[in-house]
Structure 1
Amino acid sequence: MILPVGHDKLFRRLPYLTITLIGLCTITWLITFPIELKQRTQINKISKELFEKESEFIYIYISEHPDVRYDPEGYEKFHKALLAGEIIDKESEEYKEWEEVYTKYKTRLEKRVFSILGFKPGKFNFLNLFTSIFVHGGFFHLFFNMLFLWLVGVNIEDYWGRPLFISLFLIGGIFASLSYTIFNLGSTVPLIGASGAISAVMGTFAVRFYKTKIRFFYFFILFFRPIWGTFLLYAWFALGFWFFEQLFYAMITKSTFSSVAFFAHVGGFIFGLAAGFGMKYLKVEEKYLADKIEKQIEAVQLHPKLEEAFIKRDAGDTEGAINLLREVLKEEPSNSDARLELARSLLLLERKNDASIEYEKLISQLYEKGKMEEVFNVYLEVYEGKLEHLFTTKTQFRIATNLVSQEEYNKAVELFSLLVKNHPEDKLAPVSLLKTGRIFLKNIEDKNLGRGALEFLIKNYPHYSGIDEARTLLSESEKG
């Protein structure tokens, strides 16, 4: 047995919507499942009576059609033939007795709570596209769906916000049901469960948090000895493997009956992937969501110990402030304000190595939140205090490169220039000069500064591997 039990991506606020969805599914199951069990008992009783009535007809049909398999599809063909009067005369007493039981059986099936709330491709009902999501067939069906919803839902809700998350969940669920419909046209078997909608959220999680490590618990018995433990897998690998597994089963069960809607899982996951890549390509989160959500988090999660730490530091008790800030970060590891104040407090006590670690963590957190403006401001704060050595050149280069991707060209050039000025012997210095020259020529369109950067690169770093590109850029700028 292998089960996902968590991952290393913490959420920053209580996921009300995910909890609400889990609550709705659970309450729906608690209400509907006892009703379904009672209805199932009644249907099984009628089904037994029906089978006794039609067993002789089945024998006649199979003897005349040896190519028909005794499966749901073959059974459906048998019923069509029987209803058409091809097996036995419709005016006979045996047929009328069977028809009475069959009508009662069909009526009970249609009145099942799962039939009323589930989605049936052969009897399209738009409302059932929504109601079917919240209905589950058994405890384990509910449990595993809710486990996966919690695993991936809380972080998408946290970083995308509740309106987008619920839209992804519901529209993804509809897309999953329609994907299932394409391969099951005419089916009257009700489709139930949130797995299609959850698959959409899983697809998005695989894109947005692809480097997150998911923790799995395993348990098995080898030579009568129980063995258990945990292991980690990257989200892109674990969820990608799950997707291809679902696709494989969807293909091999395509022409047979299956109690699992594999095509709904596949369709939902593809929808989630498309949503994730679309948001990433259009930079929706960075441009429209990150700052707004961060303000909501700050408004809701202003930690009382943070204010107490400010008071202690202002009163001269910097060590006491540091202890309080560490307590805040122990409770809320993603609290950027506490991390920044901790780094500042450590600097006040000249504990520069410790401050460097906290600044590096802060930069990583701000990156994760897509807050490039704050990343730049933190770097400038450190630089203006003549403490830029606290950052590694790799971190400085990473900040500048990301500013380029955000089209913050002037800020990027400033950081590249500082790196070259302060670390001329570093291997990233010539790379920074080349990027600076390219930005001035291609983006800022200041040829003089661009040529100056490239000429400096060619003169001082003649053995740099990108020197030919620098010469080409310089030559093209002179022609222009």
Structure 2
Amino acid sequence: MILPITHENMEARRWPVVTLVIIAICFVIHSVVAATERSQTRDLNALVSQALAYHAAHPYLKTRPPLDEIVGYRQLPLLAEKPRPEKAPDDEEALARQQQHFDELGLSVQKTIDAFPTRRFGYVPARGDVLGLVTHPFLHGGWLHLLFNLWFLWLCGCNMEDRWGRAVYGPFYVAAGVVAALVHKLLGGSPNVPLIGASGAIAGALGAFLVAFATTRIRFVTFLRLRPIFFTAPAYVMLPLWLALQITYLMLAPRNGVAYAAHVGGFVFGVVVAGVLRFSGVEKKLDDAVEQSVTTMQDPRIVEASDLITQGRAAEALVLLDELHAEMPSSIDVQLEILRATKMLGQRAREMAAYARLMQLYVRAGEADGALALFREVRAEKRLLELPAATLMQMGQALDGAGFPRDATDAYEAVHRNNAETLLAVKALIAHAKIAARLGAIEEARALFTAARESPFSTKELDDAALVELEALDNRI
């Protein structure tokens, strides 16, 4: 089993209200349903035991649904003692009364089954009810089923809500669940077994995530002999692989209790919707609308804080700015004022935290010039090593991509300065070496690649990548 843990775009511009509401609703509903169905299961078992005992005593009676699927199922441990079978009565009226009683027991069993919330509000393909199309994603078959689904939702749903906005993401999630259920029915889902679980709707969010965040690197964990193994891979590799596995399982075992068809239908729906929004330009408009909703250029509290700093009352301003930061953690304006205040107060740690946060926000907003200006400011003060390594790596990637390779090498060098003491530093060594090779500094590149390979924190994947690059350097000489 391979499980996603996190990814590099976990930050959002505002609280993912829709995603949190969905998670809360699922938790509340499952808590109630689990308690309700425990009691109903006891009642059902009592009725089934009574029906089995009656049929064991009258084996000549005809069985009808749902008892036809229960009678004779030897592994059902509901009968403590099997009664001695009787002979069929010669009196037709007596036989009819016995059959009627047995049929009534069957009806009672069916009525009890139909009263289960998972059956009433799950989507039963043969029933074809509209309500079940909407309600089935909020029901789950157990706590593990619920937790796994909601963890996947948290990893991708927050980003899609942040990208598209609440007004679009909410209806999209519901629509993905509906489409997933219909595909499940179309591709031969068990007609009388209720479809429950949010996985179809979440698969829609995964498909949309693939389009919107294709290059995002996701961190996974798997287990080999109970030993955890961690690795990262981009979304454009892992999500199509997941879809391929769902299609394979659907073809090999379409009715093994997992709604693979719903997963495939939801995922494809998400890819199509996200693709249409992106290539039509609607996605950018939605993203801009979200950005505008969190922009605080005209917020009077920021103006007030700025005035306080100008008056030399930075401590008072910082109290106000901390409140604003809690409300709007992605506001560049708030962070700029926090940077001013912490500089004035000489709070070096908070000052560097503000620098790091601002660089991340500028990179995310696609404003490389703003991030570069801050980076060069910190470098001029000889304080690059005070920035978090993750921020420096992000800056290295952004600056190199924006056409500032020499600035990028400074960022990478700050990460691996301490002899590659972490896995991140090994990656920085390799990234630095690639730029050096590109700029013609062959010996420097060779030394960096070699250092990466010799680091005890490297991995086989990184060693192989460095070796390939070293061989390429040899071919250039």
Deviation (angstroms), 1:191: 1.2
Q: 1:107 to 1:205 in 2, by over 3 A?
A: same
Task: Report SS of the residue matched to 1:179.
Answer: helix
1:140 and 2:148 correspond: no
Distance 1:266 1:293 in 2: 30
d(CA) in 2 for partners of 1:301, 1:238 = 42
Change (3 A) 1:277 1:58: farther
Query: Could you tell me how far 1:47 is from its partner in structure 2?
Result: 2.6
**TM-aligned CA deviation for residue 149 of structure 1:** 1.1
Q: Which residue does 1:27 correspond to in 2?
A: 28
Which residue number corresponds to residue 402 of structure 2? 395
Q: Unaligned 5+ residue runs, structure 2?
A: 74-87, 342-351, 375-397, 406-437, 440-477
Aligned twin of 1:272: 270
Query: Which 10-residue stretch deviates more, 276-285 or 172-181?
Result: 276-285
Deviations 1:392-432 (A, max 9, x none): 7962699xxxxxxxxxxxxxxxxxxxxxxxxxxx99xxxxx
Q: Is residue 122–residue 185 contact of structure 1 (8 Å, CA) maintained in 2?
A: no
Taking a change above 3 Å as real, the CA distance of residues 183 and 266 of structure 1, as seen in their structure-2 partners, is: same
Q: Pick from 330, 333, 336 the counterpart of residue 332 of structure 2.
A: 336
Is 1:106 the counterpart of 2:105? The answer is no
**Does structure 1 retain, via aligned residues, the 8 Å contact 2:211–2:274?**
yes
Q: Secondary structure at the residue paired with 2:13? A: coil
Task: Give SS of 1:137's match.
Answer: coil
Q: Deviations over 1:245-299 (max 9, x none)?
A: 2211111123xx322211111111110111111111112122x222321121224
SS at match of 1:238: helix
The corresponding residue for 1:365 is 364
Quick check: 1:200–1:269 contact (8 Å CA) kept in 2?
yes
How far apart are the structure 1 equivalents of 2:258 and 2:4? 20
| 1:253-268 equivalence runs, <5 A | 253-254=253-254, 257-268=255-266
Deviation at 1:203, TM superposition (A): 0.8
For 1:5, the equivalent position in structure 2 comes to 5
Distance 1:344 1:278 in 2: 43
Instruction: Provide the C-alpha distance between the structure 2 equivalents of 1:302 and 1:27, rounded to a whole number of angstroms.
Output: 37
Matched, 1:166 2:170: yes
Matched, 1:120 2:116: no
Matches within 5 A, 1:366-381: 366-367=365-366, 375=367
- Counterpart CA distance in 2 for 1:109 and 1:117 is 12
Partner of 2:288: 291
CA–CA distance in structure 1, aligned partners of residues 197 and 298 of structure 2? 34
3-state secondary structure, aligned to 1:155: helix
How far apart are 1:28 and its partner, in Å? 0.8
Change (3 A) 1:11 1:149: same
CA, structure 1 residues 280+28, in 2 after alignment: closer, same or farther (shift >3 Å)?
A: same
Shift of 1:41: 2.0
Task: Supply the AA of the counterpart residue of 1:235.
Answer: A
Q: 1:361 and 1:185, CA in 2 relative to 1: closer, same or farther beyond 3 A?
A: closer
Q: Name the CA distance, whole Å, in 2 between partners of 1:300 and 1:155.
A: 24
Q: Distance in 2 between matches of 1:306 and 1:149?
A: 38
What is the letter of the counterpart of residue 261 of structure 2? F
**CA positional deviation for 1:239:** 2.1
Please give the residue correspondences for 1:25-64 in structure 2 after superposition, counting only pairs within 5 Å: 25-53=26-54
Aligned partners of 1:306 and 1:338 also within 8 Å: no
- Are the aligned partners of 2:296 and 2:333 in contact in 1 as well (CA < 8 Å)? no
For residues 326 and 230 of structure 1, what CA distance do their matches in structure 2 show?
36
**Map of 1:57-456 to 2, 5 A cutoff?**
75=69, 92=95, 95-184=99-188, 187-220=191-224, 222=225, 226-228=226-228, 230-254=230-254, 257-286=255-284, 288-299=285-296, 308=305, 311-312=308-309, 314=310, 334-337=330-333, 364-367=363-366, 375=367, 395=402
Q: Percent identity?
A: 30
SS of residue matched to 1:177: helix
Question: Separation in 1 of the partners of 2:189 and 2:399?
Answer: 60
Unaligned stretches of 5+ in structure 1?
62-71, 80-87, 346-353, 368-374, 383-390, 399-425, 428-480
Q: How many angstroms apart in 2 are the aligned matches of 1:147 and 1:208?
A: 19
The residue matched to 1:114 in structure 2 has which SS? helix
The 1:394/1:3 distance shift into structure 2, 3 A limit, reads: closer
Relative to the length of structure 2, the TM-score reads 0.60
Secondary structure at the aligned position of 2:365 is classed as helix
Contact 1:340–1:358 (CA under 8 A) maintained in structure 2 = no
Deviation at 1:310, TM superposition (A): 7.0
1:342–1:358 Cα contact (<8 Å) kept:
no
The answer for the alignment partner of 2:450 in structure 1 is none
| Cα distance change of structure 1 residues 343 and 39 upon mapping to structure 2, 3 Å threshold | closer
TM-score (norm 1): 0.60
Check conservation: 1:156, 1:205, Cα contact below 8 A.
yes
Q: CA deviation at 1:48?
A: 3.5
Q: How big is each residue's C-alpha offset from its partner over 1:118-145, in whole Å with a ceiling of 9 and x where there is no partner?
A: 1111111112211222111211111111
Inter-partner Cα distance in structure 2 for 1:214 and 1:301: 37
Distance 1:58 1:249 in 2: 40
In 2, the alpha carbon distance for the partners of 1:301 and 1:54 equals 78
Matched residues in 1 for 2:142 and 2:264: separation? 22
- What does the per-residue CA deviation read over 1:331-353, in whole Å, with 9 as the maximum and x for residues that have no partner? 988543367779999xxxxxxxx
| Contact 1:306–1:325 (CA under 8 A) maintained in structure 2 | no
In the alignment, the residues of structure 1 paired with residue 230 and residue 400 of structure 2 have an alpha-carbon distance, to the nearest angstrom, of 36
Q: Is the 8 A contact 2:221 2:229 kept in 1?
A: yes
- Equivalent residues, number: 352
Distance 1:330 1:212, change over 3 A: farther
1:215 and 1:231 in contact (8 A); partners too: yes
Could you tell me whether the CA contact under 8 Å between 2:139 and 2:196 is conserved in 1?
yes
Q: 1:303 to 1:200 in 2, by over 3 A?
A: farther
CA contact (8 A) 1:8 1:213 kept: yes
Contact 1:219–1:227 (8 Å) recurs in 2: yes
Equivalent residue letter for 1:365: R
Give the letter for the 1:138 counterpart.
Answer: G
CA distance in 2, matches of 1:16, 1:306: 28
Amino acid at match of 2:272: A
1:165 deviates by 0.6
